[in-house]
Amino acid sequence: MGFCKWVCLIFILHAFLPLPIFSSWPSVSPEELAQIPVNFLDFAKKTELFDWMVGIRRKIHEYPELGFEEFETSKLIRAELDQMGVSYKHPFAETGVVGYIGTGSPPFVAIRADMDALALEESVEWEHKSKVPGKMHACGHDAHVSMVLGAAKILQEHRHELQGTVVLVFQPAEEGGGGAKKMLDDGALDNVEAIFGLHVSPAHSIGAVASRSGPLLAASGFFEAVISGKGGHAAIPQHTIDPILAASNVVTVSKFQGGGAFNVIPDSVTIGGTFRAFSKESFIQLKERIEEVITKQASVQRCNATVIFNEVEKPFYPVTVNDKDLHEHFLKVAGDMLGTQNRLEMQPLMGAEDFSFYGEVIPGYFFFLGMKNETQGQFESGHSPYFRVNEDILPYGAALHASLATRYLLEKPKPNPPKGSFHDEL
């Protein structure tokens, strides 16, 4: 029986069953599988869908919200999902939204977008500049949301071809707040077997993607240390215990605060910084070494030091590790869509991502989507007040999300349910 006939049969069955979801779609032959469209780029480039994604992205960009404060962004997402007829649950982690498209039954595969902005004043002068003083989408999360919503449009249009359920994850507080961890704690990924995420990249050309198997982004943490001595007049330093001298023996810190007068040696100084590594073991060793170096260097200068790792306020992010099997899956999908020449292997980066929390629980895959176009000038790196998004990438991100999820479901072996059993997994 052909795939389309199976679809018709299932929906006829739905009309006579008390529960709306058939627990497992029948398997299809390799010939039928090859005929099912999973390269959605042409669909995503249609003017109507492209303009809609651009509009969504600009609305979010004009009204940026910081981590766990994305209430209006969350409201906008839910309104668009309502318009599409996509079911969802809310809230997760204060503002997070999780949508569902497909059969409602296993397998479940997720695509993720982060929603939060940064505490920066935008310096790009354009029609849709941030209207909120001191806040800006300077890392492309507005584009990430619009691409997952674009993927939702595509998937909803092709929902009858899905052999499982695509889970749309809109999460808060990627920028230091560990929103992904809180989404997991709230059960946002229950039953999900794999998850995909992306980030816009000014370092790669539009139409190209970059990633790798294994460690991709570093584990990261923050530390602060208070070094205490004995203050006094700068004219008689021999009567003081100088904490600034002690702190100066600790190199490569990003924060150094101490003293408020030209002629007074302070009682204490505060230093701080970030530390990063590509393995859990190295990260733990680095944390221990930071505390050891600071306290012992302080003692050499007769000072005391207290080192603080505030994991509650600034959670440690694990290493972002790409699953080996999902990497092979990504190579196939990206190669078919963009051409193998636009499928780039990259070296690990010292940047960090809270997508890493998902990868500690289920197989995850994260990649970079190029947006560089020489004719449109230079695109700055993230966290710059001059950061811009090349909106021409929106169809690429939407299509990749939709294709990665759809083909994952098509190729995933389906469980055989007991005869006559029907169950709504949602």
- Among 253, 273, 308, the domain boundary falls at 308
> What is residue 14's predicted lDDT score, i.e. its pLDDT?
36
- Among 262, 282, 308, the domain boundary falls at 308
What is the average per-residue pLDDT within 190-198?
98
9 found inside a domain: no
> What is residue 37's predicted lDDT score, i.e. its pLDDT?
58
Looking up residue 140, the CATH number of its domain turns out to be 3.40.630.10
> What is residue 415's predicted lDDT score, i.e. its pLDDT?
63
Binding residues: 139, 141, 175, 199, 383
DSSP state of 178: -
Whether 173 shows a pLDDT value over 60: the answer reads: yes
**Statement to judge: residues 81 and 59 lie in one domain:** yes
- Give the sheet arrangement for strand 364-372, strand by strand: 87-92, 96-102, 165-171, 108-114, 192-205, 364-372, 209-211, 343-345
**Statement to judge: residues 224 and 196 lie in one domain:** no
> What is residue 251's predicted lDDT score, i.e. its pLDDT?
66
Whether 276 shows a pLDDT value over 80: the answer reads: yes
**Statement to judge: residues 248 and 360 lie in one domain:** no
Which residues make beta-bridge pairs with 364? 195
> What is residue 326's predicted lDDT score, i.e. its pLDDT?
98
Q: Give the C-alpha distances (Å, rounded to integers) separating 105 from 92, 164, 256.
A: 21, 6, 54
Whether 144 shows a pLDDT value over 70: the answer reads: yes
**Statement to judge: residues 304 and 330 lie in one domain:** no
The amino acid at residue 143 is A
Predicted confidence (pLDDT) per residue in 291-327, tens digit: 999 999 999 999 999 999 988 888 999 999 999 999 9
> Which among 314, 418, 387 has a CA at the least distance from the CA of 142?
387
Q: Name the band, by pLDDT with cuts 50, 70 and 90, for residue 412.
A: confident
> What is residue 38's predicted lDDT score, i.e. its pLDDT?
76
Contact 400, 369 (CB under 8 A): yes
Q: How large a percentage of the chain has pLDDT more than 70?
A: 88
Whether 162 shows a pLDDT value over 70: the answer reads: yes
Tally of domains in the chain: 2
| Count of residues making up the chain | 426
**Statement to judge: residues 239 and 184 lie in one domain:** no
> What is residue 39's predicted lDDT score, i.e. its pLDDT?
87
What is the average per-residue pLDDT within 337-366?
97
419 found inside a domain: no
**Statement to judge: residues 141 and 108 lie in one domain:** yes
229 found inside a domain: yes
Which residues make beta-bridge pairs with 322? 214
What is the average per-residue pLDDT within 246-251?
82
Structural domain harbouring 245: 219-308
Looking up residue 279, the CATH number of its domain turns out to be 3.30.70.360
- Among 264, 284, 308, the domain boundary falls at 308
Structure tokens belonging to residue 325: 């099997």
Predicted confidence (pLDDT) per residue in 16-46, tens digit: 333 333 333 445 555 555 556 578 999 999 9
166 found inside a domain: yes
**Statement to judge: residues 324 and 193 lie in one domain:** yes
Contact 277, 283 (CB under 8 A): yes
> What is residue 35's predicted lDDT score, i.e. its pLDDT?
55
Q: Give the C-alpha distances (Å, rounded to integers) separating 182 from 93, 229, 254.
A: 5, 40, 28
35 found inside a domain: yes
Contact 368, 139 (CB under 8 A): no
Predicted confidence (pLDDT) per residue in 40-77, tens digit: 999 999 999 999 999 999 999 999 999 999 999 999 99
**Statement to judge: residues 66 and 185 lie in one domain:** yes
Which of 370 and 312 is assigned the larger pLDDT? 370
Contact 7, 89 (CB under 8 A): no
Binding residues for Mn(2+): 139, 141, 175, 199, 383
50 found inside a domain: yes
What is the average per-residue pLDDT within 170-188?
97
Whether 417 shows a pLDDT value over 70: the answer reads: no
**Statement to judge: residues 256 and 369 lie in one domain:** no
Whether 113 shows a pLDDT value over 50: the answer reads: yes
**Statement to judge: residues 282 and 343 lie in one domain:** no
64 found inside a domain: yes
**Statement to judge: residues 224 and 342 lie in one domain:** no
DSSP of 377-419, one letter per residue? ---PPTT-TT----GGGHHHHHHHHHHHHHHHHHHSPPP-PPT
268 found inside a domain: yes
The Cα 331–Cα 327 span in angstroms is 6
Q: Name the band, by pLDDT with cuts 50, 70 and 90, for residue 3.
A: very low
Predicted confidence (pLDDT) per residue in 382-394, tens digit: 999 999 999 999 9
> What is residue 10's predicted lDDT score, i.e. its pLDDT?
34
DSSP state of 230: B
Measured distance between the N- and C-terminal CA atoms of the chain, rounded to whole angstroms = 28
Residue with tokens 């990665």: 404
**Statement to judge: residues 245 and 354 lie in one domain:** no
Q: What is the mean pLDDT of the chain?
A: 90
Phi/psi of residue 100, each to 5°?
-135, 130
